[in-house]
Structure 1
Amino acid sequence: MKRTLTYLLPPMILLIPSLAIANSNHTVDVPVKSVLVYPSAAQLNYEAEVDIEAGESVVVFTNLSPFIIENTINVSTSGAGVEIISVSERINFLDSGPRNKNGMQSLRDSIGAVENRFERISIRITSYEAERAILFKGESIGGVGNGVSVDEIKRASDFFQERHFELSQKIYNLEKKRERLAGRSLDYKRQMTQVNTVKGRKTSEVRITVKCDRKTSSPFELSYLTNKGGWAPMYDLKYNGVDEDMNFIFRANVFNATGYDWNQVRIQLSTANPTIGFGIPSFDGSQSQTRPNQDGEVEFQTVEVFNAIVEYKISHVYNIASNSKPHLVDVERHTMPSSFRYLVIPKVDPFGFLMAKIPNWNGYNLIPGTTNVYNNGTYMGRTFLDTYAENDTLEVFLGKDKTVQAVRNEENKVKKSPLVGNYYSDASRVSIQVKNNGSAAFDITVMDQVPIMDDLDKTKFNLNGISDALYDKEEGLLTWNISLAPGAQSDVEFKFDIKAPIHMYNSGSQYRRKFRVMQAPKF
């Protein structure tokens, strides 16, 4: 029968080598077997086969992360006749752990070699500068009483000038070499800082006191949580043509700052929050809290997640260094049936915006995340994808291209003389030509805008030629839904006129009209 004990005591601090508290100690130093990664935490799992003596003994798991979250240690064994009596955890400041010792030593050696070369160059520069300083001194160079003055050695002036130039050139070259060495030394020190992410030379160890009636070999499993790990989704959305399904690639950026590299580990991702606490959970998520970023190494953001808790099993094993850097992990790939249409707003932009509709979206159980968008192999940009769809159909824009183009012309006539009484007249005629330049037929949504009237009791607004359009009076929006074959063109035309009182026209408040805003150079 498998026995499990969960650690519920606060950690102790180990300052001196531990003394045996039982008949024998069994030290276990094994790498991480697998990791269950949550968005802002990670569960590290270890397995080991331990030979247990008869009687009471202690199994010590060493070289563990020093960032174990209190009350999350779980130990189990399935050995026959082996009983777990107690579990304790403590920090060991005397053992620095295998934080890439070879890499750190190599960096130290490199820094030492660079600094030695730097000092040797500095000595040579000092020597050359001292020699250069005495070349043209207006005093004796052979001693105060017996020196030879500069006037008496004019025949050697050419030599001094040549020597001065030679020394200056050597000093210049050596100073450049010294600058490069200083930069290289700084790079090595920065790399050392990244490698030595874990603050302080300390590790954790878990001590398991067991009792057995006879000598046996027993398998042990150890797991604990740390907030020095986590993951965030990274999506690729790829459009390859109107007749093909969308390609959706789900990857995860996993980070590890536990102090120990995860080498050849099995990784599983979860959307749960394991650090809420031991209270009874509620459906409104009132216990959920955002973990503050205390060390400044990894930034966190809060996102709304509507779907249930999901776990993703990763098929490959990965090596993830403990450097707080994101490491891409392949999670899933989907081929998603989709429909496509273009949105064109010629008053703002002559090119169409490609839009995809993906049905049955909520069934993919994805959380919001950064998404790279590709259009026929061209990278279009990056966006943040809100993965919840109210009607189970996701609408996402895939960028603009030249497949659909529109040309808009507006003729505006303002008559400054009254037409009827004290009214001014403003008449406009708008024509829009939309063309499909692609090799496939597309559904296209065309949008335009007309003035919004505030005082219909004082102004008169007439709009004509919109029988095929949807008209939103509150926003002044006109919408046409058309279909165009390859190479086909469609023309849209409408007219409107406004009659406003002369006093309103002069004050500038006769009607509210929305114009396009753009940036232009000012000369």
Structure 2
Amino acid sequence: MTKVSDIDAASASTAVLDTQTNVVKLVSADVSTITNVSLYGSRAEIMRVAKLDLKAGQNRVTITGLPGVMLGKTLRVEGRGSATIHDVTISTTPSNEESFPELEALKNEKKIIESSQYRVSKRLEALESFLTTLSAKDNSIAQVTEVLTGYETEAAALQNQSYDLDRRLTELDRRIGEEENRFRTQSPSGKLNKQVTVAIFARAEGSVELVLIYAVSRATWRAAYDTRVTTANTKDDSTPVDLIYKALINQSTGEDWTDVPIVLETASPTFGLSIPELTPHTLRVYRPQPVYRSARSTTRKSTSFAPPRASSPVAYFSAPSPPSSSSVCYDAVIDQEAMVTSAGNVTATFTIPGRSNIPSDGEDHQVTIAKLKLEARLQWVAVPSMTLQTHLKANIKNASEYTFLPGETSVYLDGSFISNSPVPPVSPEESFDCPLGVDSSIRLTYHPRTTRASKSGFYTKTQTHAYAQRITVFNTRTQPVENVTVLAQVPVSQDSVITVKISKPALPPPAPGSNPGSAQQVLSDGPSGSGSGSGAGTVRVSPSVVAEWEDGQEGRLKWIAKLAPQEKLLLELEWEVSAPVGTSIVGL
């Protein structure tokens, strides 16, 4: 059992120890600098180094002016020098103007000047009042002149003194405003309202370095790109692409990142690591429950169209109908843990060359990650039944070691800005499509559709509707284009009595689950005459044109063609729709 005298002795010993502790209180901006920033998608890790002079023995160092958005559990303190760290605490800096003596002195000086202004104004009022009491009857002209001269001299002196006080007061207000801004930023209501207290035992008097490593919120970065495509340099179906990989950094942590190296991290924290549990999934037969209802008496018949008068309610039970989907009561929805994963299933680290300056202003600041030389394959795509414009896109291969994060790119084609378009997550050696706008040099003509109806059959009559559609593609360029895709569509039957048959191009019936995409390979293999190509479901229309199903189940097909300079290409689409005579077909 502890004795009272022991507690008193311990308290006395602690008091002696406190008197021997060297207390140091510093502002982080004055004694430390940020030496490294690792920036993640929604936070940043800051490394700050402070140089301190300690006395031999116990020291208690408090560093104020740290960001209020600091995540306290992430703080680590390391020491460099002949000292040992015993304890580290983080807290909110108390709001106390006494810790800003210059602000208090300025406010006291302002009070003195305001008092002087009050006295000067009273003296001027007294001087004006004295003039109102001056009487010409009791004074000679010489006396009046003497009084007015004295008034002029005294009033001018008082006015000059008032002007000087006003000027000094304006300057004081400016300085007080600056100090109050500094006070607000370092008070609990500002952005720099955290402080760290470190207990250090120094074996000898001298300088040491404290390294503070902590994470802060309100710091983000996102990817952005500039994509520049030059079609004039296309060789062997490959077009050079200059891609500038950029980062847009935004931070409002309260402290400026001045002349610091920045590392960009693509890793993101993952939540919900526990394995989800399956809950019982039960089935049961629906059994209606009796429902108590009130009914109107139906014993009397009404001869009019007006509703019968209600009699005394009669109670009866009835079996309700099965509930509708809007009234079914389901089991409570189980809340699942959120899980955040990397959009590209990859993580990477980008070190920004040199040093950067990112102020705490909440604005986007652009830094360059890399300038890349890539290759792209151009493709012209047209849907003439919808629009006569030909769209150009580039399939760009990421041949670099960098992982492209989701972002937005500014697209430039032959030096002209085209548009902004999204960039998906792309790993090295993967490809992505980049739209390049409309190319007016590839012109389309969508000729009027021709229709012909006929009947056939001796016992069973069949009516047939034949359709023909012609499309002209004109390459007005002085260079050949290698990959022009024209999309078209034929109707799809949803009834067994209706038959749709395509005759031009002579595509085979689409197989369920078929995977087209061999047309480009067939076209690249070189001419092999008309007829079927080597790919499944692909036919060669001409030496420079192949056709295949884009989605046979929905009736979409496409031609892929090579066009020489100034070449006109005629594409023909013919199909027939057959049904028994008298069948009314919807959709023709």
Q: TM-score, normalised by structure 1?
A: 0.64
Decide whether aligned partners of structure 1 residues 289 and 203 sit closer, same or farther in structure 2, where only a CA change above 3 A counts.
farther
Q: Provide the residue aligned with 1:454 in structure 2.
A: 494
Separation in structure 2 between the aligned mates of residue 327 and residue 232 of structure 1, nearest angstrom: 11
* CA shift digits 1:135-157 (9 cap, x unpaired): xxxxxxxxxxxxxxxxxxxxxxx
Aligned to 2:433: 395
Matched-pair contact (CA < 8 Å) for 2:398–2:426: no
TM-superposed CA distance for 1:439, in Å, is 3.3
Kept in 1, the 8 Å contact 2:344–2:427? The answer is no
In structure 2, relative to structure 1, the CA distance for the partners of 1:381 and 1:42 (3 Å cut) is same
Distance 1:356 1:474 in 2: 28
The residue correspondences of 1:41-60 to structure 2 (distance < 5 A) are 41-60=43-62
CA distance in 2, matches of 1:230, 1:238: 27
Match of 1:172 in 2: none
Equivalent residue, structure 1, for 2:548: 470
State how far apart, in whole Å, the 1-side matches of 2:19 and 2:416 are. Answer: 65
Q: How far apart are 1:357 and its partner, in Å?
A: 2.2
Tell me by how many angstroms 1:83 deviates: 1.0
Q: What does residue 40 of structure 2 align with?
A: 38
Larger RCO, structures 1/2 (Cα 8 Å, 6+ apart) = 1
Matches within 5 A, 1:109-508: 200-201=189-190, 203-241=193-231, 243=234, 244-273=239-268, 289=339, 304-307=343-346, 309-360=347-398, 363-388=401-426, 392-413=430-451, 415=453, 423-443=462-482, 444-455=484-495, 457-466=496-505, 467=539, 468=541, 469-471=547-549, 472-505=551-584, 508=585
Give distance in 1, aligned partners of 2:43 and 2:553.
Answer: 48
Say if 2:222 and 2:249, in contact at 8 Å, map to a contact too. yes
Change (3 A) 1:389 1:412: farther
Q: 1:503 to 1:57 in 2, by over 3 A?
A: farther
Aligned pair count reads: 374
Q: Distance in 1 between matches of 2:243 and 2:96?
A: 46
Cα deviations across residues 243-293 of structure 1 (Å, max 9, x unaligned)?
A: 2411111111211111223233322211122x558x9899xxx98756xxx
**Distance verdict in 2 for CA 1:352–1:24, change over 3 Å:** same
Indicate conservation of the 8 Å contact 1:36/1:267, yes or no. yes
Report SS of the residue matched to 1:366: coil
One-letter amino acid of the structure 2 residue matched with residue 427 of structure 1: A
SS at match of 1:71: strand
1:477 shift after superposition:
1.6
Q: 1:303 to 1:380 in 2, by over 3 A?
A: farther
Task: Tell me the CA shift for residue 353 of structure 1.
Answer: 1.8
CA distance in 2, matches of 1:281, 1:33: 37
8 Å CA contact retained: 2:95, 2:188: no
Give the number of the structure whose alpha-carbon radius of gyration is greater. 2
**Partner in structure 2 of residue 84 of structure 1:** 85
Deviation at 1:234, TM superposition (A): 1.1
Distance 1:371 1:213, change over 3 A: same
Letter in 2 for 1:437: T
- 8 Å contact kept, 1:267–1:317: yes
**Root mean square deviation, CA, Å:** 3.3
Q: Which residue identity lines up with residue 423 of structure 2 in the other structure?
A: L
Consecutive unaligned residues of structure 1, counting only runs of 5 or more, are: 1-18, 97-191, 291-301, 514-523
- Identical counterparts, % of pairs: 22
Tell me: CA distance 1:31–1:504, structure 2 relative to 1, closer, same or farther (3 Å). farther
SS at match of 1:487: coil
Match of 1:120 in 2: none
State the distance in 2 between where 1:340 and 1:95 align: 66
The CA distance in 2 between the partners of 1:398 and 1:448, in whole Å, is 22
Question: What's the secondary structure of 2:95's corresponding residue?
Answer: coil
CA offset at residue 360 of structure 1?
4.5
> Cα deviations across residues 86-108 of structure 1 (Å, max 9, x unaligned)?
11111114279xxxxxxxxxxxx
Q: Shift in Å at residue 229 of structure 1?
A: 0.6
- After superposition, give the CA deviation of every residue in 1:347-380 in whole Å (9 maximum; x if it has no partner): 2222222222223458421211122222222222
Q: How has the CA–CA distance of structure 1 residues 350 and 454 changed in structure 2, closer, same or farther, with 3 Å as cutoff? A: same
Report deviation, 1:334.
Answer: 0.7
- Give CA-to-partner distance per residue, 1:48-105, whole Å, 9 cap, x none: 22222111112332211001113101111221x3111111111114279xxxxxxxxx
Contact 1:362 1:392 in 2 (8 A): no
Q: Secondary structure at the match of 1:337?
A: strand
Which 5+ residue runs of structure 2 have no aligned equivalent?
Answer: 1-17, 98-180, 276-335, 506-538, 542-546
